[in-house]
Structures are given as C-alpha cells and as structure tokens.
Chains A and B, each alone.
Chain A
Amino acid sequence: MSFEQTLARLEQIASSLDRDDLPLEEALRLFEEGIAKLREANAALGEAEGKVQRLIEGASGVFALEEES
C-alpha cells in the first residue's frame, strides 16, 4: 500500500468511526486497523535521508544511480 493509499484508508476509518450506527466490535476492529496504519505512515515518513543521485545508462541499457555530492 502506498503512502497515499494508507492516508486515504485512515481518512476512511476516521469517517466510519464518527458514525454511531457502527457495531461496537466493528468500531474496535477499525480503530485497531487505524492505529496500525498510523504507525506505518509515521514509519514511512521517518525513513532515511533522501539522496541526490544521477541516472546513468550503461551500454546495454542498464540503469545505475550514482551519488551526487
């Protein structure tokens, strides 16, 4: 699931939880899923420093990424 999809799912869960007609068990299940998704999203944001690289195409059309200063 992409970050965008994760965020969309979170919005959906939050909206569902705002409804009163949801059975309690379903609400609890959604809440747990929401917490898991939040963790995922936060972890994705906290990932390593972004790099600056140069795209190099080798002779046989194989691509390589070369670190830039």
Chain B
Amino acid sequence: MFDAPGSSPDQAFGVGELTTLVKQALEGGFPPLWVKGEVSGFKRHTNGHWYFSLKDATGQLPCVVWARETRRIPAPPDEGMAVFARGQLTVYPAQGKLQFMVDALEAEGEGLWKKAFDALKATLDAEGLTDPARKRRLPRFPRTVAVITSLDGAARRDIEAVIRRRHPGVHLVLIGAVVQGEGAPASLVAALDRLARWGGADVAIIGRGGGSREDLWCFNDESVARAIAASPVPIISAVGHEIDVTIADLVADLRAATPSVAAEHAVPILAEVQEQLRRLGGRLADALEDRVVAERRALTTQLERFTLRATRMVERRRARVQQVAGRLEALSPVATLARGFTIARDAEGRALATRSAFAVGATFDLLVQDGRVRARTESVHDDAPHLPSRA
C-alpha cells in the first residue's frame, strides 16, 4: 500500500507544514528574476514596507518591497506605471499568499530616477535653494582649496594635477568622503560639516569621477544638497562627466562638468596673474612718465610766456624812454641853437627875452651852438620882426 503524505486523511498535511513546503518548492524552482507589469494598488505601510501588485492583461502578482530595500529605489512608483521588478518568488505562509519580494525596481526609461530628481528639485526650487541669485562669486585668488571626494579616487588625482600645473603655490586640503553606495550621503554631509567648522578653505570642490547612475546617486540626495546650500565656503560641484547633472550641481555656487574643469575654475594660472601684475606696473610707470612729461611741458610753456612778457615789457619801456627823450630834445634850447638861433642871458643866467630886459651899455652873454659870446647893448628898438615863440 502506497502511503504518500497527503494521500489520505491519516496522512494529511498541517497547513503551515504544506505552505512551508510550497514556499521551499517555489524558492527552489525560481531563482531571483525580473518581472514586468503595471503597478496597481501601491501602499506604503507605516513600518516602511511597500505593497503593490504587478498586473498585465491576464495576471496579477502581489509584491512587497521591504523597508531596507526601498532605500535603494530612488522613488516609489506611480499607480499604473510600467515597471521592471527584480525579486524572489515566494509564499507568505501566514496568509497562504503568493508573494514577490522585490529588491530592485526600475521604470521604463528614466522613470523613477527622474521622478525622484524632479520631486527634490521642485522642493529645493520652492525654497529658493537653486536660485541663481544665491550663487556666490568664487574667490579669484584662493590660497587654500578644499577637495571633498574619495581619497583614492581618480577625481582627487585629476584635481591635484590641474591645480599644480596652473598654480603651484595654492594649498590643497583633502577631506575624504565615501562617494558611492549607501553610506555616501551621510559621509558627504559629514565632510561638508567639517569643511564649515574648520573654516580654513577659500573655496571647495565636491565631486567624483564618472560612474553609473546608481554610483552618482548620492549627489542627488536631499541631505547632501542642503549641506552644500548651507556651506559658508563657496562650493564647486564636479560630478561624473559632462552629461551628468545632479541636484548637487543645482545648489552649488558653480557646476563644473568634470573634476578637472572644477580645478580650472578654482585656481587661476600663476603665469597669467604675474603677467597682469607686470601690466599694472607698466601702467603705473607710464602714467607717471606721462605726468612728468606733461608737467615739464607746462613748466616750459610758462617759462616761455614769462620770457616773452618780460621782453615785451622791456621793449615798451625802451620805446617810452626814446619817446620822452625825443620830446626833451625837441624842447632843449641846445637844439634851438643848433638851428642858428641864439639865447641872450644876463650875468645871473636869466634869459633876456624882451626889449625891457636889455639896458643900453650893459653887457650880456649870447649862447650859440658851440659856445658863448660876450656882447653889449648898443640901442633898443621895437621894429625887429617877431621871432617864432617855439622851434
């Protein structure tokens, strides 16, 4: 007689015994696998687990995402969203229910990542944290640049090399952080906190080299975004490659496409600064030289003007002296004598100009051009022609 379990009331299974057997059979028969379908009846339980069903035209599959797995999924799915779920098929013995334990969930295309990104961006936008007006100008000549990244990552080497090449005098301070995986957001926030409390950096670069979307996801974390926005030190974000734009980029003071580009933005080229100083020195010297030349020219002009004025003044005086001299000469009795007139003078030197001044028999002097003649009055008449009064 064949006595298989469950073949007769005597051999009946206990319920729990059977559901456990089914669970073992299912789990053994189905390795972890991907299932596609539409999300239906999504519920987030207070204990953090997610419950929903995956449906298509002909079937339905109850799904659960345990709370600790939800952290790896960027955002909960929307109702009706077409998704791919990876998980383990099993039975929930307590309810005798088929259950798909999901550990990865992806929407078609960018789906959930985009949803999470957009949601956080909307929140930060509303708070003004992504406002371009908030962005601070970077110092043009930092002495100390802090770098928050993995100490053994490629980003760190790239930044170091670029800064050394551009400006060997700038100090570089590394603040190590985990830049991928579950602990990354907390580690980045802690590093930003240290940067703020230390206070020795003029500017900071935060970032990492390229990686998968999941690798870069910590730079889309809300706590990291808020720590960047709150940083007292201006922050340059440099995450992955040119095409990777993260939330960190939106709140940073400057987004650099790559860590190398971030280093270029952070530090000026020493030779260019030196050239600028040379030019400034040249400008100072030129300005002063121009000034001295202008002063000298002004002085020369003044001197010339003064000389000219002095010469003119002397000439004017000379002309006046000559004029006066001419007049004096014209008035001089000597000039009259030169023209043949004589002047009669008595012994006291008084001019004898009228008849009454002459006494008959008295002597007087006649002044002539070249000397004096003693003369005597013979007689006095009134019939002589009048002489002109003046020459």
Contacts and interface: CB of A to CB of B under 8 A. Distances in A.
A10 B280 contact: yes
Contact of A51 (B172, B200, B276, B288): B172
Interface string A24-60: 1001100100110010011001111111111101000
Interface string B352-382: 0000000000000000000000000000000
B284 A68 contact: no
A34 B284 contact: yes
B92 interface: no
B10 to A, nearest CB: 70
A1 to B, nearest CB: 12
A29 to B, nearest CB: 11
B280 A55 contact: no
Interface stretch (B15-23, B103-111, B138-146): B138-146
Given A53-B172, A54-B151, A55-B194, A45 B284 contact: no
B389 interface: no
Contacts of A2: 141
Contacts of B287: 14, 17-18, 27, 31
A50 B281 contact: no
B319 interface: no
Contact of B280 (A14, A24, A27): A14
A26 to B, nearest CB: 11
A13 B287 CA distance: 10
A50 B169 contact: yes
A25 B261 CA distance: 47
Interface residues of A, number: 36
A31 B169 contact: no
Given A49-B169, A68-B174, A7 B141 contact: yes
A13 B140 CA distance: 20
B176 interface: yes
A53 B197 CA distance: 17
B277 interface: yes
Contacts of B291: 17, 24, 27
28 contacts: A3-B143, A7-B141, A11-B280, A20-B294, A28-B288, A34-B280, A34-B284, A35-B284, A38-B284, A42-B277, A45-B169, A46-B169, A49-B169, A50-B164, A50-B168, A50-B170, A50-B171, A51-B171, A52-B172, A52-B174, A54-B174, A54-B176, A55-B174, A55-B175, A55-B195, A55-B198, A57-B198, A68-B174
Given A17-B287, A24-B295, 4 more contacts: A10-B280, A17-B283, A48-B169, A50-B171
